[in-house]
Each structure stands twice: as structure tokens, then as C-alpha cells.
Amino acid sequence: MQAETAIDVDSSMNGKMLDRLLGMAHRYRSEGNLRQAMEMYWALLDNHPGTAQAQGARVSLLDQAEAYERAGTSRSARAVYERLL
């Protein structure tokens, strides 16, 4: 029973840290620090697959790819789409 409680606490702490990382990425993006935001989104997606935060990063990356398309930078959009596949 003790080990199960420790796993729950570890999982909860990891989730909180991942939430903070995703929040930081969102702040970087909103402040115009797109390179830093994209790096953090990719890190969450690559290093923590299957988590809610990785899914949030995926959504943000898709949003950014769409923004690239709207801005006429289809090469950048395509790079994001292909990496997400």
C-alpha cells in the first residue's frame, strides 16, 4: 500500500511540473518568444508522450502551423505538420 501511495504522489508531482512547463511555453508564445515556446512544446511532446500536457503541446503546435499557413510561410507549416506525423 505504501508503494502505491508513493507512485500516486510522484505521478501527481510530475503532472504539476508538466502543467507548469506547458504554461511556460504558452507564456513564451504569447510574449512573442516563439522559438522558446516551440522548443518547449516539442520537448513535452517528445519526452512525455501520452500525457495531457503532450496533447496540449500538440494542439499548440497545430495552431502554430495554421498561423504559419495564414502568414504565407507554408514551408514552416509543412515542417511542423510533418514532424507531428
- Predicted pLDDT at 4: 55
| Total tally of structural domains belonging to the chain | 1
The residue type at 17: M
| Residue-wise pLDDT tens digits, 36-81 | 999 999 999 999 999 999 999 999 999 999 999 999 999 999 999 9
CB 37 within 8 A of CB 29: yes
Instruction: Write down the pTM of the prediction.
Output: 0.85
Domain that holds residue 80: 2-84
- Predicted pLDDT at 23: 98
- Residue 65's CB is within 10 A of a number of other CB atoms, namely 21
- Return the C-alpha cell found at 80: 511542423
- Predicted pLDDT at 8: 63
Does residue 6 have a pLDDT over 80? no
Residue 71 is given by DSSP the state T
